[in-house]
Structure 1
C-alpha cells in the first residue's frame, strides 16, 4: 500500500516539472508566432508615420483615403485632402500607408 502512495507522489513531482516545461514552451511559441510579429509591424507603422511627407497617399484609421497636404509635427496633426478642396485634420497616429497606391491599373 505504501509503495503505491510513494509511486503516486513521485509521478506527481515529475508531472509538475513537465507542466512547467510545457507552459514555458507554450509561451515561447506564442511569443514567436504572435507577439514578435506584432511588435515588428508596430515598429514599421511608427517608422512610416515618422517619415510622412506632403503629397504621399495615405489611408486613415477610419478608412478614408487621401493625400497629405500639411503636417504639423508640434501638435501631431496631419491635414489630408480627401477630395478636391476638401481637407480633413487627422491625428498622426491614425495615418497609415495606402497599400493600393502601388497597384498598377490598365
Structure 2
C-alpha cells in the first residue's frame, strides 16, 4: 500500500503562483469585513463622541437606559439630568444615546397623559 502514497506525493509538484491564489480569499474577507463592519462602527463612534462633547445645559436627552430628561448641569465626564420635578440623576455623559428635539419631552408626556385613561384613571377605557 505504500506505493499509492508515493505516487500521490510525486504528482503534487509545485505549481507557480499557488501561494498568491491562496492569499486572495483571506485578503478579500478582510476587505469585506472592513467595509461592512469596522468602518461603519468607527463612524458611529465618532458621531457619538461629537454628540457627547456638544452636550449643554437645557438639552433634552435619551439615555442608554431609556430615561428621558433635561440636562441641568454638565461637567467634564458627568451630567445631571432632571427626569421630573424634584427628580435628578447624575450619569456619565457617554451614557447619553441621543439628543432629542426641543419640546419632545413635554410632548411625549402630554400624549401619554391624554391617551388610554378611563374615568377612574386606572387604565385603558377600551379594555
Give yes or no for TM over 0.5. yes
- Choose the corresponding residue for 2:12, options 8, 28, 31: 8
- Choose the corresponding residue for 2:71, options 68, 71, 79: 68
Aligned 8 A contact 1:53 1:68 in 2? yes
Give unmatched runs, 5+ long, in structure 1: none
1:30-76 Cα shifts (integer Å, max 9, x gaps): 00110000000000000000000111111112121111111012xx1
| 1:78 pairs with 2:79 | yes
- After superposition, the Cα gap between the structure-2 partners of 1:85 and 1:12, relative to the gap in structure 1 and judged at 3 Å, is farther
What is the deviation of 1:94? 0.9
Q: How does 1:84-95 map to 2 (within 5 A)?
A: 84-95=85-96
Give unmatched runs, 5+ long, in structure 2: 112-127
What is the deviation of 1:20? 1.4
What is the deviation of 1:6? 5.1
- Alpha-carbon distance in 2 for matches of 1:6, 1:13: 19
- Alpha-carbon distance in 2 for matches of 1:93, 1:71: 12
Query: 2:120 maps to what in 1?
Result: none
Instruction: Calculate the TM-score normalised by the size of structure 1.
Output: 0.78
May I ask how many residue pairs the two structures share in their alignment?
Answer: 102
Query: 1:55 maps to what in 2?
Result: 58
Instruction: Calculate the TM-score normalised by the size of structure 2.
Output: 0.66
Q: Structure with the greater relative contact order (CA < 8 A, sep ≥ 6): 1 or 2?
A: 1
